[in-house]
Chains A and B, each alone.
Chain A
Amino acid sequence: MQVTWRLPGGKAVTATVDYGQSLMEAALANDVPGVAGECGGSLACATCHVYVDPAWAAKCGEAGEFEGAMLDLAEHRRETSRLSCQLETHPDLDGLVLEVPAS
């Protein structure tokens, strides 16, 4: 599937990524700046915070309870904030657009 990460400052990274991984892992594999994923997806750090493009928000669903609590700790939380370790690559998300928060 294809994913685009819009970066602060206007640039973007677009990559084709495999299924069976999280979007945090996909970001790391593509060296997307600003997505760190320091706890490896165990909901302990909020360093893989992204904004889901509004057009994709419904398909991505809402943050879970624990994820929501972690997002409270992230900088610049918005309505569309998600931890990308909790978003799985999936055929329904082909073409997904994410925005990386300014750090």
Chain B
Amino acid sequence: MTVWTPTDDGYADLSSHDTFAHGAPHNTFARLRREDPLHWTEFAGGKNFWSVTRYEDITVMNKNTEVFSSARGIRMEDQSYEEYLARRTFQETDPPEHSKVRMKLLKAFSKTTMAQYEQDIRDLCADILDQALAKGEFDATKEIARQLPMRMLGRVVGLPEADLPWLVEKGDALIANTDPDFTSHVLDKMQTDEFRMMPFNSPAGAELYIYAKELMEEKARKGDTSGVLNLILEPAKDGSVITETEFRNFFCLLVAAGNDTTRYSIAAGIQAMCHQPELLVQMQEGGAVWDTAADEIIRWATPALYFRRTATRDVEMHGKTIREGDKVLYWFVSANRDESQFDDPFHVNLHRSPNRHLSFGQFGPHVCLGMWLARLEVTVLFQELAKRIRHIEAAGPHKFLRSNFVGGIKELPVRVEAV
């Protein structure tokens, strides 16, 4: 068997965050795709769940929201109905309810709206890269990948520059709530359940709730509609306006989901440049490569490792019965390495086309709202990076986040030779 992750013998525990601290267990995913595409996965921290690992299965199931619902939670951890009600965002709803909220947000994140930020992104990239590259040797996640999404979030939402580091810290505590580097309330090691009613089961969620409320009030008082807020607050076509709770939930989602996913896409791209030196050459050749490069980098990264659904009725699949109430996980990270969908999936091919990866949860109603911003940020960042360097290499081993939900390189020591 090809060994992608040396610590993975093909039988890794997918329910364990520790497994992913060495990178995604690709040997296990490859075996499951081949031998057991609907795998009953034991979970010490709650009810067992189904793991779906094949590309085609996920694309079919992801559309079928009547049978596979988002409205009972989207992570593998179990939650009670009261916890669900207190913590949910529109990610945890199904159409048509989901569509109504999404409608109010789509314009703010449409391709056209985001395209207007290209120059802003380019200026920020120049600033970030000039500072980082001058160091010669540095942690690329910290100095580059973490910087751009945070600062763009500030621009897009219209937040004070001074608040950004605090917001990113809170966002990390929310979404990386299983890595002790990012939170003192490690989700699967908590002794009490005092935070269970808070967004993401985390005190950071409560702090962000308060911040969002105050931000809205302050902006309303000043008549400030900078960033995309005016688009979000505008009534939708049916006359409905976003409610305060919807906004606050959405704001948490934006800070958490909008931040680290792009960060880990950029980090994965930089890491790929270190082990496939031809990528820099291809980027420097430019032209058509930029139509496809961002999607390939985002496929390679797959920061959202899975999302969960819950079966609303019994359903047969691959000779097994998924029972009503069973949790079903779509492992996007596995689908994005599925040999039946992607030629040479373990190779980064910046010219890959078509490239129908599932990193944004494509082929379902929950497809990433921020995908246009993410693609633009990734494209511009690598355009600007490629202009500025002659060579890039690893300066030591990289480290992965301890999370089976968000896949990412949290430390990426690199050495660069600037132009």
Contacts and interface: CB of A to CB of B under 8 A. Distances in A.
Interface stretch (B22-30, B194-202, B358-366, B385-393): B358-366
Contacts of B16: none
A40 B102 contact: no
Contacts of A1: none
A90 B110 CA distance: 31
B106 interface: yes
A68 B103 CA distance: 12
Contacts of A44: 99, 102, 106, 365-367
B236 A38 contact: no
Interface string A9-34: 00000000000000000001001000
A62 interface: no
A38 B371 CA distance: 10
Given A40-B59, A41-B63, A69 B103 contact: yes
Q: Interface size for chain B: under 10, 10 to 19, 20 to 34, or 35 or more residues?
A: 20 to 34
A72 interface: yes
B356 A28 contact: yes
Nearest to B96: A66
Contact of A75 (B95, B111, B236, B356): B111
Contacts, number: 55
A42 interface: yes
A100 interface: no
A41 B59 CA distance: 11
A44 B93 CA distance: 14
Contacts of A72: 107, 237
Given A28-B356, A41-B63, A73 B367 contact: no
A17 to B, nearest CB: 17
A42 B63 contact: yes
A31 to B, nearest CB: 6
A58 B320 CA distance: 46
Nearest to A39: B367
B265 interface: no
A57 interface: no
A50 to B, nearest CB: 16
Interface string B168-209: 000000000000000000000000000000000000000000
A45 B367 contact: yes
Nearest to B60: A40
B62 interface: yes
A66 B238 CA distance: 10
Contacts of B102: 44
A69 B112 CA distance: 15
Nearest to A70: B106
B112 A39 contact: no
Interface of A: 28, 31, 37-46, 65-66, 68-70, 72-73, 75
Given A38-B360, A44-B367, 14 more contacts: A37-B363, A39-B363, A40-B63, A40-B365, A40-B367, A42-B99, A45-B367, A66-B103, A69-B103, A69-B236, A73-B107, A73-B110, A73-B112, A75-B112
26 contacts: A37-B363, A38-B360, A39-B363, A39-B364, A39-B365, A40-B62, A40-B364, A40-B365, A42-B63, A42-B65, A42-B364, A42-B365, A42-B367, A43-B365, A44-B99, A44-B102, A44-B106, A44-B365, A44-B367, A46-B110, A66-B99, A69-B236, A69-B237, A70-B106, A73-B107, A73-B110
